[in-house]
Structure formats: C-alpha cells, structure tokens
Amino acid sequence: MIRIYKDKYFDMDFKELIEAESLQEFDFTEDNLVRGFMYKYFNGKCSYCEVTMKVLPLDIDFYRPIKGSLNTVDGEFYPDHYWWLKYQDDNIFSICVECKRAKSNRFPVQGRLAPINADERELLSEKRLLIHPSRDYPERHFIYDKDGMMYHRSKKGQVTIDVLNLNRSTLVEFRAQEYYMFNELCSVFARTRENHSLERILEELKSDSIFAGLKRFILFNWVIKNREIPYIQEFNKFIDNTVSKSQLKSMLEEWNEKDYFDNEKKNYFNKEKSNDYFDVTNERDVNKYYVKQRFIEKIEIHNFKGIKDLKIDLRKSKSSNAPWLMLLGENGVGKSSILQAIALTLMGEEQRGEIIKKKPSEYLRNGSCEGFVKVYLSGMIEPICLVLDEKRNYFSGENHKQPRVLILGYGSTRLLPREDMNIDLKVTWARTENLFNPFIPLVNVRDYLLYLDDDFLVVKQAIESLFLESVVIERDRVNGEIYFNFPSSSIKLEDLSDGYQTIIALAVDIMMVMKNRWRNFDAEGIVLVDEIDAHLHPRWNIEIVRRLKKAFPKVQFISTTHNPLSLRGLIDGEVAVLLEDEERELYINQNLPAQEGFNIEGLLTSRFFGLYDTMPELNKIFDRYYLLLSNPSPSEEQKEEITRLQGELSKYEKVGKTLREQKFYEAVDYYFAYSRKRNVDLSDEEFSATIKEAIEYLER
C-alpha cells in the first residue's frame, strides 16, 4: 500500500460515474474512459491492496462509507453516517472487488464518531483506525516477507490488514511472486551495477507498478539496512515515505536485532490465532466478529456420506458483494451431502447437540474408519475442521465448537407451518434444522410480521424486492392480516401461491437470524439452500438469484439445483458442476464457460447441463440416441434403431440438411455421446480425430 497524491480535481465525467455509485456496470476491457480515470487518479490499481486493473476489476470506494457505517471497535452500526461525504474528493478512491467485499461498510473508530454533517475539522478529530491512502503514509505501517505476508508496524496497520483482508491467500501468492522477482532484480544490480538493471528497478518502484509498497520496502532493505546497493538520488522519493527521519534510527536498531522478522511473524500469527477464537453468540466477542468479513473460501470433504474426496474453491467469484456458489448436478449425485457437511462443521457444538440425532460414524462413507470436513473462512488462519471417527460417539476436530458465523440451512422440502403450529421466535444464531429434517417448517410469516416493531419497514422492503411485480405490503394488526397490494389487486398472505409463500418464508427466516447480530439487513452470513428452484414457477426460477442477491447483498449463498434456469444472475466463478467418474466417484468441474453469455435456450442446451434441446420430446430422443452412440460395438438391432432415431431427429432439422452437415453432426454427436457416458470431455486430440474422419469421408 502506498500513498496516493491527489493533485488533480475530479473532472465532470468522473463525477458522473460517482453519481452512478458503481463502475460495475461497465466493461473494463472495453471502456477506455473508465480505465483512463483509474490511471489518472489512482495509478490504475486498487488504492488499498495495489492489485492492478489487469488482475481484478476496479470499483469506486468511499473511504468513509456513505450508506451507514459499522464501527468494528464497538460493533455499533450508525445508519446516518457518512452520507454527506459522497462528493468529497478526499473520500473517494479506487478499490478492487475483493477489497470492496471485505471492507463493505466497516469503518473502525476509537471513541466517538464525528457528528452528522461534520466539517473537515471535526472529521480530523476522529480517531480513525483505517489507513487513509492520501492523508497517511501507508508505507510506514507495514513490512513484508518473502512469502508474500504483510505485517503491521502500528495499530492502524493491524486494523487495515484485518478490515481489508490484505493477507487473503490469492493476494499473498501474488505478492510472493513479485517479492521474488524484485529481490532478484536488486541482487543482480548489487552484483553488476548495470544501468539496465537500475532502470528496471526504478520502473518497478513507480506508483502504477503492482505492489509498489512491497518493492519499496525491499529496496529500503538493500539500500539502507544492508547497504548492498548504493543510495542514489533517484531513490529519494521512494524511500522517504517508507520511514520518517525520526523513526529511522530506532527502526534500524530493531531490524538489526537477531530474529527480528521471525519474531514479528510469530507474534502476528499468535495474535491472529487468538483473534480466531471467538463465539458469534458471545457479546464479549462482537468486536472480533465484526472486524473481519467471514465468508467461505474453500471446502475439503473426505469420506463424508457418499463423498470420497472433494475440494471446492469459492474464491473464483469476482463479485464485490457476497460470493455465491451454485452446485449443479443430477439428483443423487451428492449435492445435499455437501450442504450438510458445511452446516455440521459451522453450526457449533450446541446446535449439533440439539438437532443431530445420528452418531458421527453414521455420516462416514461406507467402509471408512475416519473422515473430515474442513471449511476455510476468510480472515482466519486455520480452517474449521470437523472429524468423524467410527470409534468415537462425538464430533472432534479443531475450531468447531463455537459458531464463527451466522448460518442457515434449508433442505429441498421447505414446508409452510400449519395454523396450529407454534414457531419459536427466540434469538438464535443458526437455523439448519430443515436441512436435516424436512418436517421442520419455515417461520410463520404472518405472526412474525405482526409481531415486529422497529424492524418492520426494513423487513417489508426486503420482501417487496423479491417480487417480480410491483407490490406494497400492509399489515392489519387489528384483524391479524398481512396484505400484498399489487397494481390491480390486493391479496392476503395466505392466498398467495405456494411458491411465493415459500420464498417469503425463506427470506423472513434469514432476516430473523441476521437481525440478532446486524441492525440493518446489509448483514453478513451464510445460507445453504438445497434445490433452490423447488416450488418455483419457471418465470420466477429465472429471477430468483438476482432477487436474493438484491435483498441480501452481503449474504453468501451456497445452493444446489439440477435446473440450469436457476443460473441466471450468477457471474463467472459462481457455478460448479458435480459429476461422477467411471468408478462412480464424485468430482467437481469449476472451469465452466461464462454463463452470462447464454440466453435461456443456450443455458438449457449447454452440454454442461445435460440437456440437448428445449423440447422435452426431443430430449428423450437425444437421451436414447446418445446412449446407443456411446456403445463402441452396437448390435445390428441397435444400428437399425440409431438409423431410425436419426430419421426422427431429421424431422426437427437436428442432423443436418446436406451430406456435409450430416457428417459433421454425426462427428459431434459421437463426441457428446462419449463425453456423456464417461462424464468427461474427450481430449482435443480425440475430438480432432473424430472431425478428421468426417473430413476424410467427404474427400473420398
């Protein structure tokens, strides 16, 4: 992280972008205007982690959040801060999608926040703990090691690393590569004193270079600490910001102490591990909970139910809001088992004792003696690990006893409560019962909405945002009714379709849990939903992801479906396909084409999703046709059936009109049939050979 010098006023075109509040609607590979702004004002990279726009998309950041501020020091949310700073140049920076996701509306302040409408003098009196990229000297707050880790030299440095998750695994890997490259460059120059090496060093130190702060720190070591590179005038502007003159002597004394950097690293990890020990249900731990964003980054499952070995990477999403993951696969492939594994690991010991009636060994894969589930949360050094052992009647492992996040889980059967049911509205931190027991109903929406006081307006607006049509919710406490007022009609809650009622109940269930730790519904948590498309009309199925993302932008959803229509609204990295190999073992494919480019028919017919056409009768023909084609030695009877099916498909113009088209369709169909049988792709060589045979036939 380096200091940004704001010596230019924002021009009108850039201020129009700020009006839009987000640059995400722009295509960064095409929009030269946006790229120009980012280079002109912010060195073409994130103002915090220093990743360039070539690596991650950039967005606008408001240093002090303008739609309410969460003070992570005391866990209080201030809804009226800091809206008046929206157009202040000093409050606007660039930010990558990953830093934006981590920062969210966090703004740590020691003591009292500045008053509403505070002027510059009052803002300066705030004891802010997040480093300001242009008012502070960020280089003076951090040191780095060759592994790419970033360590703090101050309280501000520590809080900034935590809030922005600056030691996230992807960033650490990038920094390690750049550390090695630049350190080698310095080593070459120290030995040779060649001008072209010096020129390269100076180029890498420039403000628009990726991780310039890291490189300036390395140069400081070579020039000032180790004195292996001579101090030249060109280094002045890069080294001056690294340390103040008053700090220089004491810092060099510290750094020259034996094992200084090893001790700093040890202290950092010990402190981080200490901060990882908290309980989301404990009021005394709220500052540890709020200071960092907590999303699932990786999952490892071993010998759990039907799953032998599975690793899932949830870091692929480039959303600046909570990352989603949609697990796409046929029924029975193991989607539900994955959700149960996650829920068991994260729900905490107390809820496991209340709702899980099975022995841990009953979750083990047949024939296995031991298994485990590891869930890696962002901002945590070690994973949450749940161990299953056939010899133990209890769950063991590491970090699994106290819940670290708010978590909810829902099975594929989500029943609405009957009139005679009393649904408990007590404070809870996890609601996963329905994921393990389909007879546990969702919340009674009518009772809950009638019961709410202060939060009714926020809950009402969140529910309204889920509807496809314009709707206004009203409640009649006298008669105990909830009304949904559409443009042309007014309908009671209980008269809505089951699909609508189920989604409303799901949303209210989520909000009930979130409000126990979050005073607004820009809340963070994890929601697991099996068969998200269940009970939904196709039109709503297409919209459900977009609607939930809008209603719960900071909630991480991990959902399953076998319906590709449910993928609408997801972005690259948010879909994974579950398949079985030749030995019927589960594996995952996360390297999928960009689903944003698919229209509805493209989604339905994509070969990744097991559908060949949008007409059900054609799917049946294709199913049989591909099954027969996958047989390398068909009988005479099967050959006749293949010919007959080709005749059926020709009626729908699915096998080509000319001989040329027919031979290429035949080659492609053999490719699909073979892939489908093995649930794997043909290699490029095999596919090329198939096409070559078709070409050779045409050349005869």
Q: Which of 231, 227, 282, 296 is nearest to 255 (CA)?
A: 227
pTM of this prediction exceeds 0.75? yes
| Residue 27 confidence (pLDDT) above 50 | no
Q: pLDDT tens digit string along 206-223?
A: 999 999 999 999 988 888
Six token digits for residue 476: 């009649």
Cis peptide before 82 (omega within 30 of 0): yes
CA distance 263 to 323: 35
Q: How far apart are CA 381 and CA 276, in angstroms?
A: 7
Per-residue pLDDT of 451-471, as tens digits, reads: 888 788 888 888 888 887 889
Domain map (residue ranges) of the chain: 1-128, 137-276, 296-597, 612-699
Please work out, in degrees rounded to the nearest 5, the angle formed at the alpha carbon of residue 380 by the alpha carbons of 378 and 381.
Answer: 125
In the predicted model, what is the mean pLDDT of residues 478-503?
Answer: 88
Give me the CATH topology for the region 296-597.
Rossmann fold (3.40.50)
Indicate the pairing of strand 307-313 with strand 127-128.
unpaired
Q: pLDDT value at position 136?
A: 92
How many CA atoms within 13 Å lie on the side-chain side of 231?
Answer: 12
Chain segment 469-490, per-residue pLDDT in tens: 889 999 999 999 999 999 888 9
pLDDT of 611 above 80: no
Give 641's contacts (C-beta < 8 A, 6+ positions apart). 624, 628
Nearest residue to 290 via CA among 471, 75, 496, 145: 75
**Which region holds residue 480: left if phi is over 0, alpha if psi is between -120 and 50, else beta?**
left
Please give the mean pLDDT across all residues of the chain.
Answer: 82
Question: Which range among 18-27, 297-306, 577-586 has the greatest average pLDDT?
Answer: 297-306
What confidence score (pLDDT) does residue 614 get? 43
